[in-house]
A and B are shown apart, each in its own frame.
Chain A
Amino acid sequence: MNRSVNNKKAVRYNKWGLIFLIPFFVVYVIFQLIPLATTIYNSFFEHYRSGLSFVGPNFVGFGNYAKLLSDGDLGIYFKNTMIMWIMGFVPQIIVSLILGAWFSDPSLRLRFQQFFKTVIYLPNLIMAAAFAMLFFTLFSDGGPINNILMSLGWISQPFKFMSNTWSARTLVAFMNFLMWFGNTTILLLAGMLGIDTSLFEAAEVDGATATQIFFKITLPLLRPILVYVMVTSLIGGLQMFDVPQILTNGSGDPMRSTMTLIMFLNKHLFNRNYGMAGALSVLMFIITGVLSIIVFKFTASNEK
Chain B
Amino acid sequence: MMKKVLSGIMVASMIMGMAAVPAMAEDAAAEGSVLNIQCWNEEFKTRLTDHYPGYEEVDATTGKIGDVTVKWTITPTDDNAYQNNLDTVLPENENADADSKVDLFLVEADYALKYVNSDVEVTVPIADLGITDEELANQYQYTKDVVTDGNGVLRGVSWQGCPGVLIYNREAAKEVFGDDAPETVQAKVADWDTFNATAAELKEAGYNIVSTVNDTYRVYSNNVSAPWVQDGKIVVDDNMKKWVDDSKALVDAGETTTAELWSDDWSKGFYPDGKVFCYFGPAWLINFSMAADTEGSIANLGGWGAVEGPQGFYWGGTWICAAKGTDNPTLVADIMRALTTNEEIMTDIVKADSDFVNNKPAMEAAAEDESFAFPILGGQNPLAMFCAGADKIDLSNMSNYDQGCNEEFQAAMKNYFEGNATYEEALDQFYKAVVEKYPELTY
Contact = CB atoms under 8 A, between A and B. Distances in A.
A207 B50 CA distance: 86
Interface in A87-142: 137, 140-142
Given A163-B420, A255-B420, A270 B80 contact: yes
Contacts of B264: 137, 140, 142-143
Given A52-B90, A52-B91, A141 B259 contact: yes
Interface in A166-210: none
A254 B415 contact: yes
B358 to A, nearest CB: 26
Nearest to A248: B411
Contacts of B268: 142
A73 B420 contact: no
B443 interface: no
A31 B264 CA distance: 41
A117 B421 CA distance: 45
Given A52-B90, A52-B120, A253-B414, A267 B436 contact: yes
Contacts of B91: 52-53
A220 B421 CA distance: 48
Counting contact residues on chain A (CB < 8 A from B), the size range is: 20 to 34
Contacts of A256: 429
- State the 10 A-B residue pairs at the shortest beta-carbon distance, nearest first: A254-B420, A52-B118, A163-B418, A142-B265, A267-B436, A52-B120, A31-B8, A251-B411, A51-B118, A255-B415
Given A53-B120, A253-B411, A268 B418 contact: no
B439 A31 contact: no
B175 interface: no
Contacts of A165: 420
B436 A268 contact: yes
A137 B438 CA distance: 32
A140 B91 CA distance: 42
Interface string A239-280: 000000000010101111000000000011011010010000
B115 interface: yes
B333 interface: no
A50 B122 contact: no
Interface string B411-443: 100110010110001100100110011111000
B119 interface: yes
B257 A53 contact: no
Interface of B: 4-5, 8, 80, 87, 90-91, 114-115, 118-120, 122, 257-260, 263-265, 268, 400, 404, 411, 414-415, 418, 420-421, 425-426, 429, 432-433, 436-440
Contacts of A50: 438-440
Given A49-B87, A52-B122, A249-B260, A271 B420 contact: no
B437 to A, nearest CB: 5
B5 A31 contact: yes
Contact of A51 (B258, B259, B400): B400
A277 to B, nearest CB: 11
A28 to B, nearest CB: 8
A141 B257 contact: yes
B418 to A, nearest CB: 5
Given A31-B5, A52-B90, A255 B432 contact: no
A69 to B, nearest CB: 15
A165 B8 CA distance: 35
Contacts of A53: 91, 118-120
Given A31-B4, A53-B118, A141-B259, A271 B439 contact: yes
A165 B421 CA distance: 12
Nearest to B428: A255
Nearest to B274: A142
Contacts of A51: 114, 118-120, 400
A165 B420 CA distance: 9
B432 A73 contact: yes
A271 B90 contact: no
Most B Cβ at <10 Å: residue of A141, A164, A276:
A141
A143 B91 CA distance: 46
A85 interface: no
15 contacts: A27-B5, A51-B114, A52-B91, A73-B432, A142-B268, A163-B258, A254-B420, A255-B421, A255-B426, A256-B429, A267-B436, A267-B437, A268-B436, A271-B438, A276-B439
A137 B263 CA distance: 9
A160 B418 contact: yes
Interface in A42-60: 48-53, 55
Contact of B440 (A55, A253, A254, A268): A55
A201 to B, nearest CB: 39
A49 B80 CA distance: 14
A198 to B, nearest CB: 36
A52 B87 contact: yes
B433 A267 contact: yes
Nearest to B400: A51
A163 B411 CA distance: 12
A254 B438 contact: no
Most B Cβ at <10 Å: residue of A52, A140, A141, A142:
A52
A143 to B, nearest CB: 8
Contacts of A249: 260
Nearest to B415: A255
Interface string A26-41: 0100010000000000
A55 B259 CA distance: 37
A273 B418 contact: no
Contact of A273 (B5, B259, B400, B439): B439
A126 B8 CA distance: 21
B309 to A, nearest CB: 26
Contacts of B119: 51-53
